[in-house]
Amino acid sequence: MIVLGIESSCDETAAAVVRDDRTVLADVVLSQLDEHRPYGGVVPEIAARAHLDHLDHLVAEALSRSGIGLAETDAIAATGGPGLIGGVMVGVMTGKALALVAGKPFIAVNHLEGHALTARLTDDLAFPYLLLLVSGGHCQLLAVEGVGRYRRLGATIDDAAGEAFDKVAKMLDLGYPGGPAVQRAAERGDPGRFALPRPMKGRPDCDFSFSGLKNAVRLLIADQAPLSEADRDDIAAAFQMAVAEAIADRTKRAMGLFAMTYGGPGALVVAGGVAANAQLRRTLTDIAGQTGFRLVAPPLNLCTDNAAMIAWAGLEHFRLGHQDGMDFAPRPRWPL
């Protein structure tokens, strides 16, 4: 079984071809970073136009690299939401058009489900597992019980983790995108020089909060101004450590819940763009070691937005007999 996947919900235009033996036959991603950089963030209008300009030839490129003709695919999957609606519309329209032309089934994939199921593409992983989804728009802990069966254990009550990275990068003048810039500065800095809060630490639920930490960083910057290069690096390091430890505390709580519900520890899967963060990966490796969980961290190119994860999630649904009609309407919001 072979599925063509399309992703266009944020600032990556992507197409991929995936086979049910977990082979990624082609995976093409075009980042719009340069188009959005002058504005310091993603501009929805610019994103939608860029998707429209590039998606056709990215699909052609993915098919050509995979050596698979459209006629040989079994289904077409496209991100149906949640995301920036203009981009999602471009992807859904393209997916439907290809499906109609080729006479193939169309599957609308929840972008979050794409992130949630990626680990089953990269690893031999059975349900249930614990998922930590940390991206620019989302921050949640889920028990993944099966395809389409997700139990939310906790979520952010304000900002997403990636959003906090992006905002702190802006405050420190580190440039865009924020996460990788903060990580680079943090690698040069001393995480112990400044004390920052660990939001929600010790609370009995599994929820996250980052706005207080972000505010503490703002006050610290005002207090230290004007900042030297070393101050910047030390603040970045302190912030990154605070985020990693806060996420670890919440994840540990979820591990306890998971083990109680499903009869013992299992796999902890980390997904979303922030999963690329090296400090977070180190901290999660530590807590996995302490709790008997197996940490599964897909390769970085499959942690950030891509179409292989959409093709794979589409394939998981398709082999269970699911598909969508041509009347599927793109969804700006679509909780898992």
Query: Which residues bind to Zn ion, rule: CB under 5 A?
Result: 135, 305
Interaction of residue 330 with ligand KG4, rule CB under 6 A: no
Question: Residue 304 Cβ, how far from ligand KG4 at the closest point, in Å?
Answer: 4
Tokens of 45: 């209008």
Question: Residue 302 Cβ, how far from Zn ion at the closest point, in Å?
Answer: 11
| Cβ nearer to ligand KG4, comparing 73 with 135 | 135
Please choose, out of 49-57, 60-68, 130-138, 323-331, the segment that lies near ligand KG4 by the rule CB under 6 A.
Answer: 130-138
Residues pairing with 107 in the sheet: 77
SS percent in the chain: helix, strand, coil, step 5: 50, 20, 30
Give the 3-state secondary structure of residue 38. Answer: helix
Respond yes or no on whether the N-terminal peptide bond of residue 199 is cis (omega within 30° of 0): no
134 is in an annotated binding site: yes
Interaction of residue 178 with ligand KG4, rule CB under 6 A: yes
115 is in an annotated binding site: yes
CA angle, corner 151, sides to 326 and 328, nearest 5?
A: 5
57 is in an annotated binding site: no
Interaction of residue 114 with ligand KG4, rule CB under 6 A: no
Are the C-beta atoms of residues 13 and 54 closer than 8 Å to each other? yes
180 binds, among ligand KG4, Zn ion, none (CB under 5 to 8 A by kind): ligand KG4
Interaction of residue 191 with ligand KG4, rule CB under 6 A: no
Interaction of residue 66 with ligand KG4, rule CB under 6 A: no
| Cβ nearer to Zn ion, comparing 29 with 58 | 29
Among 79, 94, 122, 135, interactor with ligand KG4 by CB under 6 A: 135
Are the C-beta atoms of residues 247 and 280 closer than 8 Å to each other? yes
CB-count burial class (<10 Å; 0-12, 13-18, 19+) for 124: exposed
Among 179, 189, 199, 314, interactor with ligand KG4 by CB under 6 A: 179
Q: Per CB under 6 A, which of residues 152..171 are in contact with ligand KG4?
A: 162, 165-166
Count of residues interacting with ligand KG4 (CB under 6 A): 19
Please name the amino acid found at residue 187. Answer: E
Helix segments in the chain, DSSP class H: 33-36, 44-66, 85-102, 111-122, 161-171, 178-188, 211-224, 229-262, 278-291, 300-303, 308-318
305 is in an annotated binding site: yes
Alpha-carbon distance of 19 to 26, in angstroms, equals: 10
CA torsion through residues 213, 214, 215, 221, sign: positive
Among 273, 298, 314, 330, interactor with ligand KG4 by CB under 6 A: 273
Interaction of residue 95 with ligand KG4, rule CB under 6 A: no
Q: Per CB under 6 A, which of residues 8..27 are in contact with ligand KG4?
A: 10
54 is in an annotated binding site: no
179 binds, among ligand KG4, Zn ion, none (CB under 5 to 8 A by kind): ligand KG4
DSSP letter, residue 302: H
Among 207, 305, 316, 324, interactor with ligand KG4 by CB under 6 A: 305
Q: Which residues contact 45 (CB under 8 A, 6 or more apart)?
A: 86
Tokens of 248: 């670890």
Q: State phi, psi for 81 to the nearest 5 degrees.
A: 140, 180
Query: Which positions make up the binding site for substrate?
Result: 133-137, 166, 179, 277
Residues in the annotated binding site for Fe cation: 111, 115, 305
What is the binding site for ligand KG4 (CB under 6 A)?
A: 10, 135-137, 162, 165-166, 177-180, 183, 272-274, 276-277, 304-305
Which residues does the annotation place in the binding site?
Answer: 111, 115, 133-137, 166, 179, 277, 305
